[in-house]
A and B are shown apart, each in its own frame.
Chain A
Amino acid sequence: MCGIAGLIHKGKSSNVGGEMTAMLQALKHRGPDSTGYAVYGEPNAGEYVMRLKVAEAEDMDKGHGVFKMLEDRIATVENIMSEHGVTVRSKENATPYAVRYVLTHDGDTADLAEHIEETEGVEILSLGNGLELIKDLGDAADVAGLYGLDGFSGTHGIGHTRMATESDVDIKSAHPYWAFPYNDISVVHNGQITNYWIMRREMERKGHRFMSDCDSELLAVYTAHNLSNGVSLEESLRKSIDEIDGVFTYLVATKDQLGMAKDTMAAKPLVLYESDDLIAMASEEVAIRAILPQEIDTYDPCDEEVRVWQA
């Protein structure tokens, strides 16, 4: 089933972390397996935020030696970063397997990202100026608590509560997906993509990498591919309705935009609320009401509807 939610404040920052947690917690019944956030903070000029995981949550049960393995992997990553001339401004570990770096780098971040991912077991969850991508097993309150998300200030964000249907319950199959290796782009999806393998092979032939077998990852790769070819976000969303088969409603966030697309059957729900300073959307109205308790006007987007909002 899965639940998706997104919100964007126009021209101002707000407690996006807290708001997304309230929305996703209200959608817990749509998917309790894992919860993910892609929230966009205020970027500091020249600084990048990189979040990566060096193991799966379940690897922590392997016992003796696992911490040594994680330390080795982190050390390898840090070596690669220094090889690329990266200056690490700060480093945080919310969990032993999830690391957040604030860094400065003058070179090609795509090249850096590809090099880092050559390390076994390491996946970059996100890289960008404003994007912070957090995902882990459990509900929204668990994940927000673990990663200290309440009070996170930003302009916009998207989130996902997952009911695993097509692939495993693990962090690599959890949403959102970062559009590797393009900075600040993330995707959440509710639905099933039926031409996943055809499209995946096509994308792989074009040189894109897949980290999981989750069909939703395709949407991130597909979006990244389009954007890298100079296609606008709105065009990419529109093209996807023709080119991707199955039932889907998905949200894409970039540094300053938030977009949505709904498949030709309108088979997956989304409720929209629009006002002059805030746009909120979720699989169910109950999530929007978690942050806007007063009486509001909402509506369901139609089939093949594509919308893009600017922060």
Chain B
Amino acid sequence: MASVTDAELKAMTQEERVTALGMRTEQLTGKSLYVEFDPDAEERFTYPWAPQVDFNKRTEIDTDEMTTTEVNSKIRALMEEGYGTIVLKNPRGKHSVGVGILSRLNLIIEGSVGYFGVGLIDGPNVRVNGRVGWSCGENMMSGTVVVEKNAGSTFGAAIRGGDLVCKGSVGSRTGIDQKGGTILVGGDTGALTGFMMQRGRMVFCGNAGKNLGDSMYDGTIFVGGEIQSLGVDAVEAELTDLDKAWLTRKLTQYGLMPEQGVDHFTKIVAGRQLWNYDNLEPHEKKIVL
């Protein structure tokens, strides 16, 4: 801040001083950065560099003898050629399969994949006929992922958008740091589910492990079964008609609708007791004061 002299700083009010020093003073409400998606904005649906693919053009890759890098490069090459439906055969627990796909694609994985499966995606519709390992759909931005069997821990870590569906049960820390989108699970979830989640929704038709929604800032968790225990600052809220309508619609869409309907779901939200947001970090304060 060489452009501001000490004398000038002294003459300013506190508000002007921190602004001059390049620090934010606006109240952080937790929603200030939220941008609603505008369906009219055509250009937002795809990246300008995304390949034009045709869903009716279908091909298969036998991944048995290939490395992860070869599989992912092959997917990209096929998308460049315009293939819109790609089937991966024999993945046999390979890690990081189908990561970083940033355009429309119909990806079908026939078998089980390892860690970080279809992470960092923005747009594709993925179906996994087997099981996925840890951190499936990590940081996904949009699109859908449907896993037919079980999933490992940190399912949908830090996801920001799209629908991430597991028809079986998932491990621990599901949706940790979730920032948007929807996670739907047909079975149970492990401990510390929704740890520090910030936005978005999670639905579990089965039971939830201990410390559900620990330190969650915002967002909503719906649990159909038993909750072993709630985490710090996670509280039960009333299930509204709007929630029920949304649950019915989402669960029906993926064929996960329980026989007894959705009235038995428990809704968990942030208790807002940990919302002690301050404008400045302590070390920044020291500089100013």
Contacts of A67 in B (CB 8 A): none
Q: Assess the A269–B131 pair: CB atoms within 8 A.
A: no
Chain A proximity mask over B189-216: 1 for CB below 8 Å, otherwise 0: 0111000000000000000011000000
Q: Assess the A269–B93 pair: CB atoms within 8 A.
A: no
State how many angstroms separate the Cβ of A100 from the closest Cβ of chain B.
34
How many chain A residues sit at the interface, stated as a range, is 20 to 34
Partner of A285 from the list B112, B192, B210 (CB cut-off 8 Å) is B112
- Distance of A163 Cα from B264 Cα, bound (Å): 47
Q: How would you classify the secondary structure of chain B's contact residues: helix, strand, loop or mixed?
A: loop
Given contacts A286-B94, A300-B171, A303-B210, contact A266 B153 (CB under 8 A): yes
Q: Assess the A285–B209 pair: CB atoms within 8 A.
A: no
Q: Is A271 an interface residue when CB atoms closer than 8 A count as contact?
A: yes
State how many angstroms separate the Cβ of B167 from the closest Cβ of chain A.
12
Given contacts A265-B192, A266-B191, A295-B130, contact A303 B93 (CB under 8 A): no
State how many angstroms separate the Cβ of A29 from the closest Cβ of chain B.
9
Q: Is B111 an interface residue when CB atoms closer than 8 A count as contact?
A: yes
Chain B proximity mask over A253-296: 1 for CB below 8 Å, otherwise 0: 00000000000111101010000000000001111110001011
Partner of B92 from the list A264, A289, A297, A302 (CB cut-off 8 Å) is A289
Q: Is A298 an interface residue when CB atoms closer than 8 A count as contact?
A: yes
Q: Assess the B114–A286 pair: CB atoms within 8 A.
A: yes
Q: Is A299 an interface residue when CB atoms closer than 8 A count as contact?
A: yes
Q: Is B115 an interface residue when CB atoms closer than 8 A count as contact?
A: yes
Q: Which residue of chain B lies nearest to A288 when distances are taken between CB atoms in the complex? A: B93
Q: Assess the A284–B171 pair: CB atoms within 8 A.
A: no
Contacts of A264 in B (CB 8 A): 191
Q: Is B84 an interface residue when CB atoms closer than 8 A count as contact?
A: no
Given contacts A284-B115, A285-B114, A286-B93, contact A298 B150 (CB under 8 A): yes
State how many angstroms separate the Cβ of A300 from the closest Cβ of chain B.
4
B214-264: which residues lie under 8 A (CB-CB) from chain A? none
Q: Which residue of chain A lies nearest to B150 when distances are taken between CB atoms in the complex? A: A299
Q: How would you classify the secondary structure of chain A's contact residues: helix, strand, loop or mixed?
A: loop
Contacts of B103 in A (CB 8 A): none
- Distance of A266 Cα from B155 Cα, bound (Å): 14
Partner of B112 from the list A266, A267, A298, A300 (CB cut-off 8 Å) is A298
Q: Is B106 an interface residue when CB atoms closer than 8 A count as contact?
A: no
Q: Is B144 an interface residue when CB atoms closer than 8 A count as contact?
A: no
Contacts of A303 in B (CB 8 A): 172, 190-191, 209-210
- Distance of A83 Cα from B190 Cα, bound (Å): 56
Q: Is B169 an interface residue when CB atoms closer than 8 A count as contact?
A: yes
Partner of A286 from the list B92, B150, B210 (CB cut-off 8 Å) is B92
State how many angstroms separate the Cβ of B207 from the closest Cβ of chain A.
10
State how many angstroms separate the Cβ of A33 from the closest Cβ of chain B.
20
Q: Assess the A266–B93 pair: CB atoms within 8 A.
A: no
Best-surrounded residue of B92, B130, B150 (most CB of chain A within 10 A): B92
- Distance of A265 Cα from B168 Cα, bound (Å): 21
- Distance of A271 Cα from B190 Cα, bound (Å): 14
- Distance of A300 Cα from B134 Cα, bound (Å): 9
Partner of B131 from the list A265, A267, A298 (CB cut-off 8 Å) is A298
B71-106: which residues lie under 8 A (CB-CB) from chain A? 92-95
- Distance of A225 Cα from B198 Cα, bound (Å): 46
Q: Is B186 an interface residue when CB atoms closer than 8 A count as contact?
A: no
Q: Is B149 an interface residue when CB atoms closer than 8 A count as contact?
A: yes
Q: Assess the A300–B114 pair: CB atoms within 8 A.
A: no
- Distance of A138 Cα from B11 Cα, bound (Å): 68
- Distance of A297 Cα from B134 Cα, bound (Å): 16
Q: Assess the B171–A302 pair: CB atoms within 8 A.
A: yes
Contacts of A267 in B (CB 8 A): 172
Q: Which residue of chain A lies nearest to B169 when distances are taken between CB atoms in the complex? A: A299
Contacts of B151 in A (CB 8 A): 300
Q: Is B133 an interface residue when CB atoms closer than 8 A count as contact?
A: yes
Q: Assess the A295–B111 pair: CB atoms within 8 A.
A: yes
Contacts of B169 in A (CB 8 A): 299
Q: Is B152 an interface residue when CB atoms closer than 8 A count as contact?
A: yes
Q: Assess the B190–A266 pair: CB atoms within 8 A.
A: yes
Q: Assess the B153–A300 pair: CB atoms within 8 A.
A: yes
Q: Assess the A285–B172 pair: CB atoms within 8 A.
A: no
Given contacts A266-B153, A284-B93, A285-B93, contact A297 B190 (CB under 8 A): no
State how many angstroms separate the Cβ of B259 from the closest Cβ of chain A.
23
- Distance of A297 Cα from B94 Cα, bound (Å): 16
A227-268: which residues lie under 8 A (CB-CB) from chain B? 264-267
- Distance of A264 Cα from B190 Cα, bound (Å): 11
State how many angstroms separate the Cβ of A138 from the closest Cβ of chain B.
22
What is the interface of chain A, defined by CB distance below 8 A to chain B? 264-267, 269, 271, 284-289, 293, 295-300, 302-303
A-B contact pairs, 6 of them (CB 8 A): A266-B171, A267-B172, A295-B112, A297-B149, A303-B209, A303-B210
10 closest cross-chain pairs (CB), A and B: A285-B93, A286-B93, A266-B172, A300-B171, A303-B191, A289-B92, A289-B93, A299-B150, A302-B190, A300-B152
